[in-house]
Amino acid sequence: MKLFKCNQCESEATRVVERDEICRVKGEEIVVHGAVRLCDACGERVFDRALDSAIFQEAFEIYRTRHEMMTPADIVRLREMYDMTQRSLSALLGLGEVTIHRYEKGSIPDEAHHQLLRLIRDPRNMKQVYSENRDRLSPSAQRKLEAALGTLLGEPVETFEHQLQDPVTAALYLDESAHDSAHALLRALRDIVTANGGVSTVARKAAIDSKSLTSVLSEEESRELHTLQTILDAMGLRMSFTAKSAA
């Protein structure tokens, strides 16, 4: 049995009553009718996690309705529509890592964040946001979102693989998932080389400076990558492997 104790008079005799409570949400006063715990001796309000949390959830709910805001369930649905994790949606929108998690748990979104969330309910807007910020997502998150957008819009969205045809852009994808990226990059480079006459047409020259990239490749793959780098140099295409691959 949980004990409740009055902060004012230290009495442990309390009771639960229903009454109107005034809550403050984002500077706005909201009246909620609900159960609160009071001290029997002096009548002081006594903290009760479960009851007080219910009162505040109700106040948030009233605030959301009053401002026609998306509910936590709306945000979950939005995120699932795009096949995204809480973390990847936060990243794409440039929000803090746990921001979407908090909103799905019931926190009231900042107004600017809320406007952004409303905006991306339209897949055409989401596509726009994505095309401007795609480098904020890992390659696998990009592929998932592209597939979801493709289905929702009924048209193919420019894909990750397609982007990799451009080696300068490709360097941007060397993020935290360097293992996936390194192999995807290697495949893309092979295609570029094939399209330009093959490996044997170019002399060996430069070495790749990024250990963090080559460490995830086998020795044979590393050699191939070095050769491909040489070819790219000869073609006048520079690539920075160190862009985002801090080990």
153: region left, alpha or beta (phi > 0 left; psi from -120 to 50 alpha): alpha
Specify which residues 45 forms β-bridges with.
38
H/E element, 105: none
- Give yes or no for a contact between 44 and 38, defined as CB atoms under 8 angstroms apart: yes
* 219-234 helix and 178-195 helix, angle to the nearest 10 degrees: 50
Write the DSSP symbol of residue 18. Answer: E
Among 35, 41, 51, 243, binds Zn ion (CB under 5 A): 41
Can residue 8 be called a binding residue for Zn ion (CB under 5 A)? yes
Least distance (Å) from Zn ion to the CB of residue 42?
3
Q: Compare residues 39 and 202 and give the one whose CB is closer to Zn ion.
A: 39
Kindly compute the dihedral angle of the four CA atoms of residues 81, 85, 88, 89, in this order, to the nearest 10 degrees.
40
Stretch in the footprint of Zn ion (CB under 5 A) among 15-23, 34-42, 65-73, 81-89:
34-42
Q: Compare residues 12 and 176 and give the one whose CB is closer to Zn ion.
A: 12
Stretch in the footprint of Zn ion (CB under 5 A) among 39-47, 61-69, 146-154, 216-224:
39-47
Nearest to 168 by CA among 222, 236, 221: 236
Can residue 9 be called a binding residue for Zn ion (CB under 5 A)? yes
Can you tell me the distance from the alpha carbon of 234 to that of 228, in angstroms, rounded to the nearest whole number? Answer: 10
- Give yes or no for a contact between 214 and 222, defined as CB atoms under 8 angstroms apart: yes
Q: Compare residues 40 and 111 and give the one whose CB is closer to Zn ion.
A: 40
Binding footprint of Zn ion, residue count (CB under 5 A): 8
Q: Compare residues 8 and 85 and give the one whose CB is closer to Zn ion.
A: 8
Can residue 11 be called a binding residue for Zn ion (CB under 5 A)? yes
Instruction: Sketch the per residue contact string, 42 through 71, with Zn ion: x for CB under 5 A, - otherwise.
Output: x-x---------------------------
Among 32, 38, 39, 75, binds Zn ion (CB under 5 A): 39
Which parts of this chain interact with Zn ion (CB under 5 A)? 6, 8-9, 11, 39, 41-42, 44
